[in-house]
Structure 1
Amino acid sequence: MKKIIIASLLALITTNVFSQNFNQKRLDSLFVLLEKNNKFMGSIAIAENGKTIYTKSIGYDDITSSKKSSINTKYRIGSISKTFTAALIFKALEEKKIELNQTIDKYFPTIKNAKTITISNLLNHRSGVHDFTSDPDYLKWNTEYQSRAKMIERIASGDVNFEPDTKGEYSNSNYILLSYILEDIYKKPYGDILNQQIIKPLKLKNTYLGGKISLDKNECYSYTLIGKWEKAKETDMSVPLGAGAIVSNPTDLNIFIESLFTGKIISNEHLNQMKTIKDKYGMGIVEVPYFERKSYGHNGAIDGFRAIVNYFPTEKLALAITSNGKMGYDNDNILQCALSSYFKKPFAMPAFSDFIVATETLDSYSGTYASLEIPIKIIIAQKNNVMTAQATGQPFFPLEATAINKFKFDAAGVVLEFNNDKKEMILKQGGQDYLFKKE
């Protein structure tokens, strides 16, 4: 009995020491600021030694019905799904169902270079397989059901990006193919495999393969901020599967990543293989430095959803952020605030501008701008009385006015300054100025 009491006291003391060290007020202040300025919708959870020590949720599951989000709200987590899929592949390896060095021609004879591409190449993005999300028509069909045969056809029809294992280049197609391999070797749908191998053993209550978004299941819609929150379209989950179709929340993500790093899913030997970085990529994991420290994890983006999960092995610290609001305050900035609150590092709170520019003035800046200094064009327009910019081959992004002729986009560190008399625009980014002329 004494040993139990002593152990309990030690645990209590440890928790109290941590609570004193963690600057919770800083993180609380950031969320108050974000909620007041309508700049973020989402949830965060921080865990140390497997115990949740901070949670917060702001925003709405559904703006139309004013349904507020909670820490139990479930979000699409995008490419964090790849970490789950990689773990499933390693579990199959431990069950001797596959080998990392086996080629994929047995499963996908129509894929170019299938006789030389290995499962290992798919895991660490060294296959050279075409990424279907880069297809010009992707956004025309991604909201509709896609069969396995159709997805393989789309992937196989693309050009080879490079010869296998000669470089690393991110491709969602790699993890679509890994999902199909799992289905072949287990003779079950991917969602059932995920449930059997990871969700049930870890008792994850808010994690599963997603389908049509359902508010009744405590899921949320996603939005894009263009002056006001606009509902985003839904990618059909038959498209990303194990590359981006999992639904979860921050608490479950922390349990998952902590379990992965403490041997509850795969062996330490195979975890080390996942963590081995080559040309920026591990196997379902990337390395994320924070000053002198090192963490591992992944981020995700799908429709208006954004997500991050990181784990610091030395500190046994897990941190996850999920959001359903794109173009607001960036998740990376919230991550920096959370880490600075834990590791006692400086952090500058955002300053949101209330500067309003008349619609007529915004319209006068609208048009296409080209530069002789960099090979891109930028289309300037306004929507909902908010200036937007779109560079060649990139999605549009909103700009925040800081003066009548100056606008910024903090997430990319971009500042645009207009001169109507000269029909010029100056792009400022990364300490450089680039002159653009209005066409």
Structure 2
Amino acid sequence: MNNLSIKIVLLLTLFSAQFLNAQEINRDKLDKFFSAIEENNEGSGSVAIMKDGKLLYQNTYGFKNYEDSLRPTVNTQFRIGSITKTFTASLIMMAVEEGELELNNKLSTYYPDFENSDSITITHLLQHRSGLYNFTNSPFFATYMTQEKTKEEMLTILQSGEIQFQPGEKYEYSNTGYVLLSFILEDVYNQPFEELLNEKIIEPLNLERTAFEKTINLNDDEALSYIKTTEWIKAPVTNMSITMGAGAISSTAAETCKFFEHLFSGKLVSENSLAKMTAMTDNYGYGLFSMPYNNDFVIGHTGGIDGFQAVSCYNPDDGLSVTVLCNAVSFSRNEILLGLLNAYYNKPYEIPDFKATVNVPEETLKAYVGLYTSESFPLDIEIKLVEGLLQAQATGQSAFPLTATDDSTFVFKPAGIKMIFDSPKNELKLEQAGRAFTLTKE
């Protein structure tokens, strides 16, 4: 799923590095890396590095339940969000191999009431090229996301959005397509998606802590998720009957690595099917996308739902899989993944320093409060002062806290956002992922 709490977070971007032959992982330094995150209250989660079926490193940090100060274990389940799409795409390819469907089958074969259903294929749904509106972007999504929905109710919701473009015309991420793919799987096998997932992936791979779950079971070592304002606030819990094959799976870091390793080693789908899954169009295949690293790439998926954020990747060149699962994120999951990759490949990385922040006088902060707009930026940004701290809120999204690095520069590390205020000009410069926008205060 898209991150339902902070949708401005971009997909994973890794910086180029050079693959080296891996040496012994410096466990002590990695342990200090995660201790720094925990000790500075910058987040919680679980991580794993696996190669050729051998678990090389795993760790947990922070809390799975802040209210009761309960710490996660390596067996704690986290919601993996859109990494679920890789599982769903794998099930689709299994169905193709078993003759249950074909990639050029039209949506009209299963759900003819959708606009353009005669032109939308299974491939379009897999590659986010269907033109179907992404239902999680709707302002109404938050009004029902915690409620259990029937298949019929979800189909009504999915059909309510307007077509965004003609099938195949371009790539545009849409959870709608992957919910439909899970419904199509249910139809062709005449089984619930959960049963198919268990029968074809979870049980054969012996994934004991991976599951489709509609709600979070606190009695079964499962993590809650949190969003940070002035403190960690428990996030709403999306009901998984809504997200289905787009984002309904919970797992551990080690078992997510194990899934990717088995997928790429041919234990789930054929070599031909895997080749189709990894053939990228606009950087997206079937439930997979490429992530630059070493002037080459690793392959995987990110995930975000409620306060959970996740990323898992696999290097086809040497069989390495790395997973980061977070239930509370202030320090970026991307930086955590980079730290793990660099640790394995013996590349430099720094233990994060969270002391490089400053206290800005409240009178200075008050001058930044207001609504900022720009014709070149699709969202309005409202800057608010809450209990002496700045918060930013984009149109239709949740507020997020800003941390000062000097009197006029503020960052939101989970999304890689920097905001630079110019009070005399009533301007705000927003920087993210190498792009910059200037917004003016109304």
Which letter does structure 2 place at the counterpart of 1:356?
Answer: N
Q: Name the residue aligned to 1:408.
A: 411
Kept in 1: contact 2:332–2:415 (CA 8 A):
no
Per-residue CA shift, 1:156-205, capped at 9, x if unaligned?
12211222122222110111111011111121111111001111100001
CA deviation after TM superposition for structure 1 residue 376, in Å:
4.8
Matched, 1:226 2:229: yes
CA deviation after TM superposition for structure 1 residue 335, in Å:
0.5
1:44/1:266 CA distance change after superposition, 3 Å: same
Which letter does structure 2 place at the counterpart of 1:98?
Answer: L
Selected match of 2:328 from 325, 329, 337: 325
Q: Name the residue aligned to 1:23.
A: 26
Per-residue CA shift, 1:78-127, capped at 9, x if unaligned?
10111001111111111111111111212101111111211121111121
CA deviation after TM superposition for structure 1 residue 23, in Å:
3.1
Kept in 2: contact 1:226–1:384 (CA 8 A):
no
1:260/1:364 CA distance change after superposition, 3 Å: same
Q: Name the residue aligned to 2:249.
A: 246
State the TM-score, normalizing by the size of structure 2.
Answer: 0.89
Selected match of 2:177 from 151, 174, 178: 174
1:59/1:113 CA distance change after superposition, 3 Å: same
Matched, 1:132 2:135: yes
Per-residue CA shift, 1:235-264, capped at 9, x if unaligned?
111100111011111111011000001111
Kept in 2: contact 1:423–1:438 (CA 8 A):
yes
Which letter does structure 1 place at the counterpart of 2:241?
Answer: S
Q: Name the residue aligned to 1:305.
A: 308
CA deviation after TM superposition for structure 1 residue 416, in Å:
2.9
Q: Which structure 1 residue ranges, 5 or more long, are not aligned? A: 1-17
For 1:98-137, list aligned pairs within 5 A. Answer: 98-137=101-140
CA distance in 2, matches of 1:304, 1:392: 19
Kept in 2: contact 1:227–1:385 (CA 8 A):
no
Matched, 1:197 2:200: yes
Q: Name the residue aligned to 1:143.
A: 146
CA distance in 1, matches of 2:103, 2:374: 47
1:121/1:436 CA distance change after superposition, 3 Å: closer
Q: How many residues align?
A: 421
1:340/1:164 CA distance change after superposition, 3 Å: same
Aligned to 2:43, what secondary structure does the other structure show?
A: coil
Q: Which structure 2 residue ranges, 5 or more long, are not aligned? A: 1-20
Q: Name the residue aligned to 1:6.
A: none
Q: Name the residue aligned to 1:346.
A: 348
Per-residue CA shift, 1:322-347, capped at 9, x if unaligned?
00013x01111100111111122232
* Deviation larger for 48-57 or 343-352: 343-352
Bigger radius of gyration among the two: 1
Matched, 1:47 2:50: yes
CA distance in 1, matches of 2:285, 2:381: 34
Which letter does structure 1 place at the counterpart of 2:132?
Answer: V
Which letter does structure 1 place at the counterpart of 2:47?
Answer: I
Which letter does structure 1 place at the counterpart of 2:349?
Answer: F
Kept in 1: contact 2:22–2:346 (CA 8 A):
no
Kept in 1: contact 2:80–2:308 (CA 8 A):
yes
CA deviation after TM superposition for structure 1 residue 272, in Å:
0.6
* Deviation larger for 23-32 or 240-249: 23-32
| RMSD, matched Cα | 2.2
Per-residue CA shift, 1:353-380, capped at 9, x if unaligned?
3533355553443221335775653211
Aligned to 2:405, what secondary structure does the other structure show?
A: strand
Q: 4+ residue stretches of structure 1 with deviation over 6 A?
A: 430-433
CA distance in 1, matches of 2:147, 2:132: 23
Kept in 1: contact 2:22–2:344 (CA 8 A):
no
State the TM-score, normalizing by the size of structure 1.
Answer: 0.90
Q: Name the residue aligned to 1:159.
A: 162
Kept in 1: contact 2:127–2:287 (CA 8 A):
yes
CA distance in 2, matches of 1:84, 1:193: 11
Which letter does structure 1 place at the counterpart of 2:116?
Answer: N
Per-residue CA shift, 1:243-301, capped at 9, x if unaligned?
10111111110110000011111111101110011122100111122023321111110
CA distance in 2, matches of 1:334, 1:429: 18
CA distance in 1, matches of 2:198, 2:436: 51
Q: What percent of counterpart residues are identical?
A: 40
CA deviation after TM superposition for structure 1 residue 419, in Å:
5.0
Per-residue CA shift, 1:18-72, capped at 9, x if unaligned?
9853233332221121111110200000001111010010111111111111111
Which letter does structure 2 place at the counterpart of 1:168?
Answer: Y
CA distance in 2, matches of 1:296, 1:167: 21
CA distance in 1, matches of 2:374, 2:169: 34
Larger RCO: Structure 1 or Structure 2 (Cα < 8 Å, ≥ 6 residues apart)? 2
Q: Name the residue aligned to 2:273.
A: 270
CA distance in 1, matches of 2:263, 2:375: 50
CA distance in 1, matches of 2:376, 2:175: 32
CA distance in 2, matches of 1:433, 1:187: 50
CA distance in 2, matches of 1:370, 1:19: 48
* Deviation larger for 429-438 or 347-356: 429-438
CA deviation after TM superposition for structure 1 residue 412, in Å:
4.1
Kept in 1: contact 2:223–2:327 (CA 8 A):
yes
CA distance in 2, matches of 1:290, 1:321: 16
